[in-house]
Amino acid sequence: MDITAHMHQLGQQARAAARAMARADTATRNRALSLIADAIERDADLLRAANARDLEAAQAAGLAPALMDRLALSSAAIATMVAGLRQIVALPDPVGEISNMKVRPSGIQVGQMRVPLGVIGIIYEARPNVTVDAAGLCIKSGNAAILRGGSEAIHCNRALATLVAEGLVGAGLPQAAVQVVDTVDRAAVGALITMPQYVDVIVPRGGKGLIARLMAEATVPMIKHLDGICHVYIDDKADIDKALAIAFNAKCHRYGTCNTMETLLVARGIAPTVLPRLAELYATKDVELRADPEAFAILAGYPHLVAATEEDWSTEYLAPILAIKVVAGIDEAMDHIDAYSSKHTESIITEDHSGAMRFLREVDSASVMINASTRFADGFEYGLGAEIGISNDKLHARGPVGLEGLTSLKYVVFGHGEVRN
């Protein structure tokens, strides 16, 4: 099979389906989502059987335990997928809304209509739930999707593709509105990210290595984040209890997520008070602390204490490891963040209003927080309903990306025969 030709064919089919999706009304798109949810519920046993084949092959191939975990599709995971689809049905339709309507002196009325982007390419690892989540968000937002999941999940993804197609066709929508790439050949990814004539945007979900590789080759624009080097800054005007709770939660709630704190900055005035008490908390989780000389001196005696090197300030550990630096105050904290942050999420802990508002205004990251855990940087927590990914870029969508990030605004003009003078 000529992979490039095959991918171009998928692209052409997606482009044609995208026009039909953009025309489809809300009820039709919701009906497709409900039918897919019903079909998944009905065929849960078949899905688990397909997943068992994937797991067997993956075990034989020696897949790492963490990846095996992500690949596994339990009954609970299937129920969550179904519930997720029904939540998407309940979300308001982003498409067709006209906003900012105004009458101009010429007599024309100008506004902006929210419209689907067109064709979305999604590249992800061997996680079957992403197949359903992504399909659901693309259908709801009136887009066509081309999904390329990790090859280890191929049997399960094939089974899911059949059920998604059943729902689309059942609602009278084109089957090609969601196409699952049915080949494990990696050339399919190379083709998908270099056909801007068929694909409007790529949403890659995966580790830093995958994203960096795609960035180097893609000619289709991407909604992506490379990594999450998130900071919490404890100001000398911080409430100690809030500081302890947030700095512990931001590191220890989950280690492997992109919104986990990787570097803690502490104001010099409060460091001797707050760091020893924080160390007691981190000790309960055996968190390794990589400290700059000043923090190192304060933390002397902590069982997992290491001297930080320059590299620590730009490392995403995704592990029970935390870099700690003592700073003079808010300005040095913001300078450090400006130099080392991946512009994902930063939080200041302070009771000082002016300092908090400066931090909010001046820190150039996708999410900037006051007195809250960085772990809140998430589509569900922000109320987007669901998220297709997170963007650290400034153009188009920034931060957690929900249905709105899969749409665009076009200008609409209502005239009455007006011409320009």
Please list the residues that pair with 112 across neighbouring strands. Answer: 99, 411
Among 367, 387, 389, 402, which residue sits at the site for a copy of itself (rule: CB under 8 A)? 367
Largest CA distance in the chain: 80
Q: Which segments of 253-303 does DSSP mark as H helices, in order?
A: 271-283, 293-299
Residue 400 has φ and ψ, to the nearest 5°, of -60, 135
Q: Does 240 bind a copy of itself (CB under 8 A)?
A: no
Binding mask 117-136 for a copy of itself (x = CB under 8 A): xx------------------
Note whether 132 and 120 are within 8 A (CB): no
Q: Is 12 in the site for a copy of itself (CB under 8 A)?
A: no
If one asks whether residue 248 binds a copy of itself (CB under 8 A), the answer comes out as yes
* Both tokens assigned to 154: 């191929």
CB of 13 to a copy of itself, least distance (A): 15
Dihedral angle computed from the Cα positions of residues 384, 389, 395 and 397, in that order, rounded to the nearest 10 degrees: -10
- Residue 266 neighbours by CB under 8 Å, 6+ apart: 233, 234, 274, 275, 295, 324, 325, 326, 327
Q: CA-to-CA distance for 421 and 416, rounded, in angstroms? A: 15
Cβ-based nearer residue to a copy of itself, 77 or 245: 245
- Please choose, out of 37-45, 181-189, 289-297, 358-366, the segment that lies near a copy of itself by the rule CB under 8 A: 358-366
Tell me the window of 37-45, 51-59, 324-332, 406-414 that interacts with a copy of itself (CB under 8 A): 406-414
Residues 285-344 that bind a copy of itself (CB under 8 A): 338
Instruction: Report the nearest approach of a copy of itself to the CB of residue 414 (Å).
Output: 5
Please identify, using beta-carbon distances, which residue of 117 and 164 lies nearer to a copy of itself.
117
For strands 230-234 and 345-349, give the pairing: parallel
Which parts of this chain interact with a copy of itself (CB under 8 A)? 19, 22-23, 96, 102, 104, 106, 108, 110, 113, 115, 117-118, 200-201, 221, 239, 241-242, 245-246, 248-250, 253, 338, 347, 360-362, 364-373, 375-377, 381-383, 394-396, 398-400, 408-420
